[in-house]
Structure 1
Amino acid sequence: MRRKIPSIEALQAFEAAARHQSFTRAAEELALTQSAVCKQIATLEEMLGIALFNRIKRRVSLSEAGQVYAREVREHLDRLERSTLSIMAHQGSGGVIELAAIPTFATRWLIPRLPGFYAEHPNITINITTRSDTFIFADTVFDASIHFGTGVWPGAHADHLFGEEMIPVCSPQLLARHPCSQPPDLVKLKLLHLSARHDAWHKWFAAAGASDLNAMVGPRYELFSMLVEAARAQMGVALVPRFLVQEEIRSGSLVTPFDIPMQSEMGYFLVYPESKREAKVLQAFVGWLLEQAEQYRLQLQP
């Protein structure tokens, strides 16, 4: 017996209503009548045997089961849309790679190098979505992820790209106003922190031989890119990965008051499911990215 599954129209109506928390706004988005949306959702609830919405007078809100189902439906509809756009765009040739990547790594290191990849592989498209957390590939649309950590990722193969070398940077104008002759003097410039690494400055000062300082004071930012811009705006001194500020140091918009690098115990990895190790489209990207990472590592050698 063929299993009964919801129609795509019913799922679209439910997803829109769940997102807007309104049948009326869902109907407007889908160019349907409100009664049509209500009927689609009622049919879906009847088939599932569970209420997806709480209905109180003229207002609706997702039930607990509806909240879980809405997330799953949204992911599947998004995957279907991406697959449809991919086959329309490539007409059977080339392919698309769905890549999850750390935000600042993607914008400051990967994207500037991508023109070289497209020159070699014009029929492959790379879609990049920012993700910082570990996830199960089977539950997402992603083919691979660029991850910062230890390289341990359940059910996935990990290729090491390079380690992380943290250095202090600040505006040359700020340093001119507040000269620093030794590492502890940096406290005078105001320390800028990354929220996720609250003890980074403490570790750097310890590596620089000044472990008895209070290195916790100063504003905190969510992304390294925010730290870089705050340093450029003369708001203080930031501790960031060297690869993120190579262009600023080269142009002189940022300087390194003390070139004392702090090596992280973790690094950057390209991870992808074991089942994708033979996928030609993905492996073309893997090979290219590993070459780029090797070139970068060679640049850092004295």
Structure 2
Amino acid sequence: MSNIHRKRRLPPLASLPAFEAAARHQSFSRAAEELHLTHGAVSRAVAQIEERMGVQLFMRRNRRVWLTPAGERLLKATATALDGLDHAMEDIQRHDGASPILTVSCEPSLAMRWLMPRLGAFRNANPGLNIDLRLAGGPVDLLADGCDAAIRRADYGISEHYVATRLWAEHAGPVCDPGCWENILVRDLSNARWLHTRTRPDAWDVWKRASGCTATPKSEQSFDHFFFALQAAVNKLGTAIGPLPLVYDDLKAGRLIAPHGMAPTGYDYVLITLDPPNAAPGSAQGRDPRISLFFDWLMAAAGDMDHGVLPASEIDGVTP
């Protein structure tokens, strides 16, 4: 049977926030303070609901109130409904193309070692748009996570419901402190301590296959996260596999060197969105101007990286 003409048996909707606050605090006075109402206004709102429903929602004793079983049920339903409305309104405003906030989920190591140091420049160039950065890796659910876009290393299957726009190809190679390399016997990787990470345990094997290297380590050490392995290399603890652009700033500043250059890993970094960031205005899917702005900036920031941090012969063909 169609529900088009069904009449909802709801109490006055304006009274529900007062009931929810009174029930949550178990106090009409505290609810009145929270909502900037009078005690009498809260009491009348609750009475309206009780009269409409024909049940008692509160037990009243000596100026104190307790929820009845019916009140407990209504509180659960009301809180769920009000929270849902609040989240929906926030989501609509946040993900509106005119919103001043763009929520971006980003691989933690990429965010900390490359993106975050550049967000100040983005803010200066685009003062009307704030980036709300969330650190996360792997599969993403943009809607459930409340994100507009995500930056990921495309080493897993991305849902067909999303658009993955390529940002740059990943290149990686061994990186270490210049002093460490000078102290390694005859500058042979077999004499180095290899730093590993449990979040990317095959990094050395991938590089060896790509570069044709057959060396084996003199000693090894593992870290819980890729970021820590790279920081350990900066701190002269050994040699790690460092991908561009994660180690670009350290290479440029001379904190790290890449004595064997960089080789392609076969993976790309991508921007994951619900619609193409460079879609034409007025297209069927439309275009979010915030995502387009951020995408264009990402591409420019990556393109501005100076490959002079490595000998040209060692990064021939590398486009970050």
TM-score normalised to structure 1 length: 0.66
Measure the CA separation in 2 of the matches of 1:193 and 1:274. 37
Instruction: Decide whether aligned partners of structure 1 residues 103 and 242 sit closer, same or farther in structure 2, where only a CA change above 3 A counts.
Output: same
Contact persistence 1:168–1:240 (CA under 8 A): yes
Contiguous gaps of at least 5 residues in structure 1: 17-22, 50-68
The match for 1:184 is: 190
Instruction: Decide whether aligned partners of structure 1 residues 175 and 244 sit closer, same or farther in structure 2, where only a CA change above 3 A counts.
Output: same
- The one-character-per-residue Cα deviations of 1:228-254 (angstroms, maximum 9, x if unpaired) are 221122211111113222222222222
Measure the CA separation in 1 of the matches of 2:219 and 2:86. 45
Instruction: Decide whether aligned partners of structure 1 residues 122 and 145 sit closer, same or farther in structure 2, where only a CA change above 3 A counts.
Output: same
Shift of 1:202: 2.4
Contiguous gaps of at least 5 residues in structure 2: 1-6, 35-58, 277-284, 309-314
- Pairwise CA RMSD of aligned residues? 4.6
Contact persistence 1:103–1:130 (CA under 8 A): yes
Secondary structure, in 3 states, of the residue corresponding to 1:107?
helix
Higher helix fraction: Structure 1 or Structure 2?
A: 1
- The one-character-per-residue Cα deviations of 1:266-292 (angstroms, maximum 9, x if unpaired) are 111111113975122222222322333
Instruction: Decide whether aligned partners of structure 1 residues 164 and 203 sit closer, same or farther in structure 2, where only a CA change above 3 A counts.
Output: same
The match for 1:141 is: 146
User: Alignment length, in residue pairs?
Assistant: 260
Task: State percent identity of aligned pairs.
Answer: 22
- The one-character-per-residue Cα deviations of 1:36-68 (angstroms, maximum 9, x if unpaired) are 99849984545669xxxxxxxxxxxxxxxxxxx
Measure the CA separation in 2 of the matches of 1:138 and 1:93. 18
- The one-character-per-residue Cα deviations of 1:110-155 (angstroms, maximum 9, x if unpaired) are 2333334333422111111111121222323111111111583331
1:164 lines up with 2:167 in the alignment = no
TM-score normalised to structure 2 length: 0.63
- After superposition, residues 222-261 of structure 1 pair within 5 angstroms as 222=225, 224-259=226-261, 261=262
Measure the CA separation in 1 of the matches of 2:235 and 2:172. 20
Contact persistence 2:222–2:229 (CA under 8 A): no
**2:293 maps to amino acid:** A
Shift of 1:163: 1.1
- The one-character-per-residue Cα deviations of 1:155-178 (angstroms, maximum 9, x if unpaired) are 111211101111111122323333
**1:113 maps to amino acid:** R
Shift of 1:206: 3.8
Measure the CA separation in 2 of the matches of 1:125 and 1:37. 45
Larger Rg over CA atoms: 2
Instruction: Decide whether aligned partners of structure 1 residues 216 and 179 sit closer, same or farther in structure 2, where only a CA change above 3 A counts.
Output: closer
The match for 1:265 is: 266
